[in-house]
Structure 1
């Protein structure tokens, strides 16, 4: 099958990248709008978190099945159907008049969006020759970092200037345009969807996957607010998760028609790449999660300012992806590039762990530019390396599993960061309170100054003293959380340091020219 050329190829690149950006953007765009949504729908802050959780659970459930569903329905049909579902669900999200109505449509939005990520990558890779796949990986990597980074910017802009509903309506014109471009420019592969009659749907495998992954995602999203394993709900979910995952693995390895081909984990390079994908998701999502909380609570940045401080370095960092892709397509070695990316992430974590409360928006620019360099140099080669040792027929399963692992890494990272920051804040508060003693001259001077300030406003000495202690307590809490956020940035560095020695396990056997030609031919014939 002839590869698309010229204008058609450009349109395919733009369409698939836009779809991937849109899907990932919706994972973070609602984060800065939760307060407004809660107030409008009359929901509590704890319940409103389901707006994020439902989307994430749907994403993680559907992503590993995209390879099978694309083969069953035909990749183009599945891609179009998912895009239309995403657009319709976005419309009803904006029209929702109750919390649980919004949660339901966010789940359907996640079902449609999950396919946009993996199927976009597969379509994009198919548009390039095998030796040019690093360039395709570069384009796709741009989408992976743009989506989560642009989400808070657009979310903050719409919340500050319009209504929270608009963060969902913005998807609709993009979906319509992408649907039209897909119909016109993306061709069906020869024989696409024609094997449906000979395919058996592994309903048991799908049910077990949904049970295991759905409960795992719930635990990661809600564990902190439910006090982890002190909660009966979390313990029940953990048991169901174990049953689902163990049963799913057994089912997929023994059935003749698995919904996900887990046997590709026999490939050492792919198996190791999943670990790096997990850590990559951990670093990408954790840094984007902790930074906005810190600068809004400690440095006083608004939602829009926070989003912009993330966006500008991201846009500059995007230029690195084509450069790295060009280097790899010319025969450059991916392992050293990934090693440099990991080292940059280590430096980024320690620099983030040295931030001060006085820093403004532009003071964080060098730090985030460094983060983008690390993401580009780690993520770009990893996207290509994850399928480097697989057969073309195994690409759909490999791509889907890689994307699922990255999403789980992000969810795991956010859960760990949230839990770690909370515990470190409690420890720092205890340490700070140890210095607040009656005989401490600094404490006496500070409390007297606060009391005098309050006395000038109230004229009541007793109430001024009580207000001064409350103000001091708030200052201690703020300092404790500030130190905890710095610790969390350093934790990111430690995690990346731990995986650095395992880079050598990612080396894929070098293929001869004849083998590359066979892979190219098989890739064109693969479903």
Structure 2
């Protein structure tokens, strides 16, 4: 049984807060930092695009497998040893990733790095919640939110800068000195709660571990690789989908009937935590998905370099620093987190619709920056309020389980969002292209006038007539593809906007926090 108080005061709380925030940012940074390096990895390691995709996929699979088990592993090994050990694993594997000379070794070390990183994120949220008194949990969650929002945003800009100025191993080496400092401080300052006796080997839920790894690992692979493998036209995707479905079914059955479950599903009897877990999935879907869209659009359609695309996302996230105190102050004034969450979801829905309307082949960086600035304002209302709803009414000894559930669903929501968005973009692009082409009749005077004008422009530059004709048709085809792609991105933003609007009424079904747990003051 967890002891009642793990509360820290003074400089110890400051140091612990800084350490767990650093670890959370490092973990989330590594989710996105490698994405801008995939082209370099492909060239330097002689890998195909499919093979290099495993660098990102392996990390995500390691993440989602370990997150649900963090509470149990903390009890088995002690919070201090488990957290510090996870930092050591993450740091060593970061170094080994940089040392890898083939794609297989890099993918294996990324998987292990993901296991260490997943443990850091869930355990960080547990620690930062426990070291603050109940009335300041809102403050604790606001601080943790900075890492959740800023970490993924820093990835593209930092990764882009490193790739443009150094070599790809540096994106992994930067974790090493920070990881060493964090591990030393963790051993020194982070206390381990007094748990009951450890489980013997016979009592360990090995079947639960196997089912969890098979189910979540398969599901993550399907989400990460489904679009590239053409979904259910691929035999491996079909097989893994079946494994994921039955794995999840039997895992839930096992955990609800097992005497010593590896994951305590019973904690979800708390309706607020259950709703917060579902909303974490929606948050991951919208947040990760929309973060994924911006660099993809600006680089592929507007021709921006990776550094500029990453800088746009990173700089716009600074609004979090100013919005978080406002959200926590509103909580302290008695504004229910349900209302703040609903407001955040409405703002995010409006922001997605706004984003849809600014997409053109010539959208400038200032327009994007303004839209993204308001996007992060909405996300701050969203994620802080989710945490307040989840942890305001939960028992202290259930915090670790609650953090594991919300963390896992946030990650899965992000993977699901990216998978759905990439598939939707591809299919809508084909739909819009076919629609546009159907309106381009060769006998149409407007079409002929356009082709003739382009042809004459090419001829004016010294191009032979036959080549100028072919080039004019090719340029028209490029314009059609570009317009179809932009329309598909607009469809994505509209769909995400509708999703958040539809979810708003469910937020209001959650209960308010007990009066004994007033909102926190961020100051």
TM-score category of the 2 structures, normalised to the smaller one: over 0.9
CA–CA distance in 2 between the matches of 1:100 and 1:458?
51
1:132 to 136, 152, 158: 136
Deviation for aligned residue 1:186: 1.6
1:364 matched to 2:368? The reply is yes
1:111 matched to 2:110? The reply is no
* 8 Å Cα contact 2:81/2:187 also seen in 1: no
Deviation for aligned residue 1:365: 1.4
For residue 522 of structure 1, what is the aligned residue in structure 2?
A: none
CA–CA distance in 2 between the matches of 1:198 and 1:128?
34
Deviation for aligned residue 1:505: 1.6
1:338 matched to 2:362? The reply is no
1:89 matched to 2:86? The reply is no
1:463 matched to 2:475? The reply is no
* 8 Å Cα contact 1:306/1:361 also seen in 2: no
Deviation for aligned residue 1:331: 4.1
Q: Which runs of 4+ in 1 moved over 3 A?
A: 192-199, 329-332, 453-459
For residue 186 of structure 1, what is the aligned residue in structure 2?
A: 190
Deviation for aligned residue 1:199: 8.6
* 8 Å Cα contact 1:455/1:464 also seen in 2: yes
Cα-Cα RMSD: 1.7
Deviation for aligned residue 1:457: 4.9
For residue 292 of structure 2, what is the aligned residue in structure 1?
A: 289
1:202 and 1:2, CA in 2 relative to 1: closer, same or farther beyond 3 A? closer
1:354 matched to 2:395? The reply is no
* Secondary structure of the corresponding residue to residue 357 of structure 1: coil
CA–CA distance in 2 between the matches of 1:309 and 1:285?
15
Task: Report 1:410-489 matches (<5 A).
Answer: 410-457=414-461, 459-489=463-493
* 8 Å Cα contact 2:36/2:159 also seen in 1: yes
* Secondary structure of the corresponding residue to residue 361 of structure 2: coil
Task: Report 1:148-187 matches (<5 A).
Answer: 148-187=152-191
Deviation for aligned residue 1:203: 0.6
CA–CA distance in 1 between the matches of 2:225 and 2:113?
20
1:236 matched to 2:239? The reply is yes
For residue 212 of structure 1, what is the aligned residue in structure 2?
A: 215
For residue 63 of structure 2, what is the aligned residue in structure 1?
A: 59
1:79 matched to 2:96? The reply is no
1:329-377 alpha-carbon deviations (Å, 9 max, x no partner): 4544111111110111011110110112222222211111111011000
Deviation for aligned residue 1:315: 1.3
CA–CA distance in 2 between the matches of 1:71 and 1:164?
37
Q: TM-score scaled by structure 2? A: 0.95
For residue 525 of structure 1, what is the aligned residue in structure 2?
A: none
* 8 Å Cα contact 1:73/1:193 also seen in 2: no
Deviation for aligned residue 1:80: 0.6
For residue 106 of structure 2, what is the aligned residue in structure 1?
A: 102
* 8 Å Cα contact 2:436/2:480 also seen in 1: yes
For residue 328 of structure 1, what is the aligned residue in structure 2?
A: 331
Gapped regions of structure 2 (runs ≥ 5): 519-523
CA–CA distance in 2 between the matches of 1:327 and 1:132?
14
CA–CA distance in 1 between the matches of 2:309 and 2:235?
37
CA–CA distance in 2 between the matches of 1:249 and 1:2?
31
* 8 Å Cα contact 2:137/2:392 also seen in 1: no
2:407 to 390, 403, 423: 403
Q: TM-score scaled by structure 1? A: 0.94
1:262 to 257, 260, 265: 265
For residue 388 of structure 1, what is the aligned residue in structure 2?
A: 392
Deviation for aligned residue 1:2: 6.4
CA–CA distance in 2 between the matches of 1:331 and 1:196?
43
| Number of aligned residues | 513
* Secondary structure of the corresponding residue to residue 318 of structure 2: helix
* 8 Å Cα contact 1:223/1:415 also seen in 2: yes
1:111 and 1:458, CA in 2 relative to 1: closer, same or farther beyond 3 A? farther
